[in-house]
A and B are shown apart, each in its own frame.
Chain A
């Protein structure tokens, strides 16, 4: 495991000059993932349309200090799978001598929703590529619309907290489980509050012989409406409250990476965020209860998959 000091020596592939909002989770997530590559490793980065792409390649500038390709919103996985196929072909024919790694970044919209088919196809075909979903729980680039990754209750511009309907009504899609069902060598969920966890998982993902998928919680201060500098504390809360558990699935074996010692209510994660403000308004007690129930239900299901005793942390 690298130390922070060593990581500081790593050559950055995603550099300054991009126009992500100050404090955007995407920049942090991308750097943490790419820093798992060694300096002498070559990488081709693919990217779906979304905040990361439009903020990092405004022509004639680029924030990418490596080969980069953006194609469209829903096809980052297919595009990188083509790059990887070209790599194998050219290598096999002796037309290329350098080695390369391949990674695609997509937002939750470009991954859970419109890009799911393309991702599923690429995972099933077994390309040696890493797909990283930067999950901020909404279509932020088009102005905070709900996606199937948006948590229940969240106020977005297409699931507004109204007088009759208090925000999004459906629980999140369990994407990591869905991708794990493709029986690929590596699937993981991670969060930037724990850089070692991100680093370790990214390293494993780049090293496995086949496709790997990483889901990373990547807060959006605009869409979530929290105090921007508090990003790391907020992500910590997401993990502690079990809203965003850290786990990995290696060759089909599920493993929980951290287990909170005590029961922390999801309120702690929701409260600092403007998108959940209405949840705490009088009359919405049932909604808060439903959100907590959903977190607990998902947690128990995860424990079972990981072969752990299915019980909630002690209160």
Chain B
């Protein structure tokens, strides 16, 4: 059974957490994900879940306690944004290396400084090398759907990695949206019972976790994480197919929108993909061959699917809502350009850094991007491949 409801992104995520009914949640408030922590506390206080809620004193402890719980053999979750994720940084790596299947929503917000509470992806991009799976969500529906699927992906025997579910701060977290949620029983059956591979609370098989590795094992352990990420690409697709059966909604590694015959493509994640699709439709109506590619998984990076989706286009604009300060553009630009390199067919790839600190991405901005791509195709020239969209002079 499905229910059409009006919820904000945070409410949708909190509902998903209620339905997942984790054994332990340890979390700490931060804008714009605070509401998730508050709503979840009220589920606990009102007996709507079986969860032990650990009201930690910081995000470092939030992730640490979540890891302790997960290592103990419990299904454990946390939730954060921005500075909170930055504060967790150290332990996020350790959670991944300990292969703990922790699912944690991240309502994306700019990193300080200067301090800013609005949306960009600098928080998520800060942990792109941590070894966690990163899913991105266009709207509240996708945030909800990703949460449910994330449990199955994280806990899959071939994966066993943390999964973060990203959705845009305020734009998605606070805006009211209409979405479909599944009934509790369907979710319960879909996620199944958690069976940990090893557990501290197993008296029959004591285990030492978090051991000290020297050069004789560290490298192999790191490679095992790479192999798990590789497997995750397959698992994300498999779980997506299964989820389609209960929800009617399809999820893969990427969402290729009107790309089959496109000459120009915009590659963009999270809510801006929605705006881009809107502009794409308008331009299509005028006869322009445009499309949008929305990576749903950013880690692992679905480079095969991206190369495949973009192989026929002539020019691509990658939109990054984060800087790298490399002077070579944003984080996704580097990965997309790299993915297209072996096609050897001279696709022009440009980068637009946009929306930092919550600056709006206007529809006119997206139109401008397509018009720039059109110029690039016509002239065959790219004079400036890293551009700052809507930046005041």
Contacts and interface: CB of A to CB of B under 8 A. Distances in A.
Contact of A117 (B58, B65, B200, B217): B58
Contacts of A66: 206
Interface residues of A, number: 47
A95 B67 CA distance: 19
B199 to A, nearest CB: 8
A159 to B, nearest CB: 26
B66 interface: yes
A249 to B, nearest CB: 22
Nearest to B95: A71
Nearest to A47: B210
A92 B21 CA distance: 14
Interface stretch (B33-41, B69-77, B256-264, B297-305): B69-77
B71 to A, nearest CB: 5
Contact of B203 (A82, A92, A98): A98
Q: Top 3 A-B pairs ranked by shortest CB distance?
A: A82-B68, A82-B65, A121-B57
A25 interface: no
A66 B200 CA distance: 9
Given A72-B64, A86-B24, A62 B211 contact: yes
A78 B210 contact: no
A79 B50 contact: no
B57 A93 contact: no
B230 interface: no
Interface string B304-316: 0000000000000
Contacts of B210: 57, 69-71
A72 B91 CA distance: 7
11 contacts: A59-B214, A60-B211, A71-B68, A72-B91, A78-B61, A79-B68, A82-B64, A83-B72, A84-B68, A85-B68, A121-B58
A22 interface: no
Contact of B212 (A53, A74, A98, A118): A53
B393 interface: no
Interface in B184-217: 200-203, 206-214, 217
A311 B211 CA distance: 49
B96 to A, nearest CB: 13
A84 B56 CA distance: 13
A69 B64 CA distance: 11
A31 interface: no
B54 interface: yes
Interface of A: 42, 44, 46, 53-54, 57-60, 62, 64-72, 74-75, 78-90, 92-93, 95-96, 98, 100, 117-118, 120-122, 124-125
A53 B213 CA distance: 11
A118 B60 contact: yes
A78 B56 contact: yes
Nearest to A122: B61
A44 B94 contact: no
B259 to A, nearest CB: 44
A54 B212 contact: yes
A69 B209 contact: yes
Contacts of B60: 74-75, 78, 117-118
Contacts of B55: 125
A64 B61 CA distance: 24
B90 interface: yes
Contacts of A54: 212
B231 to A, nearest CB: 23
Given A57-B211, A96-B201, A124-B57, A78 B72 contact: no
B166 interface: no
Contacts of A85: 24, 26, 52, 54, 65, 68-69, 74
Contact of A86 (B201, B206, B208, B217): B201
Contacts of A53: 212
- Most chain-A CB neighbours within 10 Å: which of B57, B60, B65? B65
B225 interface: no
B23 A93 contact: yes
A162 to B, nearest CB: 33
B207 to A, nearest CB: 6
